[in-house]
Chain A
Amino acid sequence: MANDDTWVIIPVYNEVTVIAQVVADLQAAFRNIVCVDDGSTDGSAAQIATTAAHLVRHPINLGQGAALQTGLCYALARPGGRFFVTFDADGQHRVADADRMVDAARSGFADVVLGSRFLDQDDGQRHRVPLAKRIALGLVVTLSPVARKMHLTDAHNGLRVFNRAVAAQLRIRMNGMAHASELVSLLARSSWTVRELPVTIRYTEYSTSKGQSLINGINILFDLAVRDQR
């Protein structure tokens, strides 16, 4: 398989109905998949155990940022990983997009490849993003000086590819959802090249019901404002 040097990291919290299918879809292109069950209470871990994905279980719920960091630690400890993909568990990302982003990273396009739902597709089409989501995410980018400085269009996309050098140095400290903004500012301060590629988000009823709300944006801003300066 072409992607033997790649690890896909999926933070999972109460996704029992979709997680097995998401892993099955990914297996078409990726052999190394690690699901980090973040203390789910709905049997997600048992579902993951039926798949061929590696399973790491947080004994308690810690948050998505913590789950990503745990997944990175696990994947980095395995030999042979050169690229590390973060992938949402709710089925909103397309495997083809992840595959394309890893190819780009492998070709030296960038050290970090981020998915963006707001960039124009290759076929010139802008795909549909719900209006409320567009406003909320636009606000995050506008309020974040680093995101603007780096010309990022989509600061909160869960689909990302890191090469090994970057992944080994990442220390996600924001356990909750603020980790997305934390990552952006971390990348901005580094010397790594960061590029975006257009991706398509599948706004199913399921993924919409689980997505970020505007209200939670306030929590994220608070977390970032009072984080320690170490």
Chain B
Amino acid sequence: MIVQVILVLAALGALVYFVRLAHNVHIRASKRIAFFAFIVANIYAVLRPNDTTWVAQQIGVGRGTDLVLYLLVVAFVFGMLNTYLRQREISNHLTDLARTVALRDAELTNRDRGLLTESLNTEPLNIEPRQ
């Protein structure tokens, strides 16, 4: 069945696309366009169910609802991955922030405890920010 090939390729494409590439402006824009197209397609499918059935039959799925369901699964996985990557990016930022706070704090604490004798480190901390 053609539809199986299409859906598997779409799912794999989504995976590679999101895992391999950094999140730049270009990708963000294309994600929004894809989302917009998805919504429009959905509205169309709701209004003209017979048309989706016709499309479904052309590519080897029995009913239009099945086609919509399959596409929904792909879109869901896409969205999940997107959320996961975004969440990980935030947690990376959080780590950098917490580390900076911890190191600044430690300089003061350990100086009070008499463990640090060198002059106060006024240079920027040696932490490379993540992208």
Task: Mark A residues whose CB is within 8 Å of B.
Answer: 36, 49, 52, 54-60, 62, 66, 69-70, 73-74, 76-79, 171, 173, 175, 226, 228-230
Tell whether, in the assembled complex, residue A226 and residue B19 are in contact, meaning their CB atoms are under 8 Å apart: yes
B42 within 8 A of A: no
Tell whether, in the assembled complex, residue B109 and residue A74 are in contact, meaning their CB atoms are under 8 Å apart: no
Which residues from B are CB-within-8-Å of A226? Answer: 19, 84
Tell whether, in the assembled complex, residue B126 and residue A76 are in contact, meaning their CB atoms are under 8 Å apart: yes
Tell whether, in the assembled complex, residue A79 and residue B118 are in contact, meaning their CB atoms are under 8 Å apart: yes
What's the Cα separation between A78 and B116 when bound, in Å?
A: 9
Nearest CB of chain A from residue B93's CB, rounded to whole Å: 12
Tell whether, in the assembled complex, residue A70 and residue B102 are in contact, meaning their CB atoms are under 8 Å apart: yes
Contact A70:B110 (CB < 8 A) given known A52-B115, A175-B91, A230-B22: no
What's the Cα separation between A74 and B106 when bound, in Å?
A: 8
Contact A73:B95 (CB < 8 A) given known A57-B106, A59-B102: no
B98 within 8 A of A: yes
Nearest-CB residue, chain A, relative to B130: A173
B99 within 8 A of A: yes
User: Looking at the complex, which one of B92, B94, B103 makes contact with A56 (CB distance below 8 Å)?
Assistant: B103
Tell whether, in the assembled complex, residue A70 and residue B99 are in contact, meaning their CB atoms are under 8 Å apart: yes
Which residues from B are CB-within-8-Å of A229? Answer: 19-20
What's the Cα separation between A228 and B95 when bound, in Å?
A: 16
The tally of residues in B whose CB lies under 8 Å from a CB in A reads: 29
User: Looking at the complex, which one of A59, A78, A79, A228 makes contact with B98 (CB distance below 8 Å)?
Assistant: A59
Contact A74:B103 (CB < 8 A) given known A54-B110, A54-B115: yes
Tell whether, in the assembled complex, residue B19 and residue A73 are in contact, meaning their CB atoms are under 8 Å apart: no
Which residues from A are CB-within-8-Å of B92? Answer: 173
User: Looking at the complex, which one of B19, B88, B105 makes contact with A57 (CB distance below 8 Å)?
Assistant: B105
Which residues from B are CB-within-8-Å of A175? Answer: 91, 95
Known A62-B99, A73-B127; further 16 A-B contacts with Cβ < 8 A: A36-B102, A54-B110, A56-B106, A57-B109, A58-B102, A62-B94, A66-B98, A70-B102, A74-B103, A77-B103, A78-B118, A173-B92, A175-B91, A228-B22, A229-B19, A230-B22
What 0/1 pattern do residues 81 to 92 of B give for CB contact below 8 A with A?
Answer: 000100010011
B69 within 8 A of A: no
Instruction: Give the most central of A36, A49, A55: most B CB within 10 Å.
Output: A55
Tell whether, in the assembled complex, residue A56 and residue B102 are in contact, meaning their CB atoms are under 8 Å apart: yes
Which residues from B are CB-within-8-Å of A70? Answer: 99, 102-103
Which residues from A are CB-within-8-Å of B105? Answer: 56-57
Tell whether, in the assembled complex, residue B22 and residue A66 are in contact, meaning their CB atoms are under 8 Å apart: no
Which residues from B are CB-within-8-Å of A76? Answer: 126
Can you pick out 22 interface pairs between chain A and chain B where the beta carbons lie within 8 Å of each other?
A52-B115, A54-B106, A54-B110, A54-B115, A56-B105, A58-B98, A58-B102, A59-B102, A60-B94, A62-B98, A66-B95, A66-B98, A66-B99, A73-B99, A73-B126, A76-B126, A77-B103, A78-B116, A79-B118, A173-B92, A175-B91, A228-B22
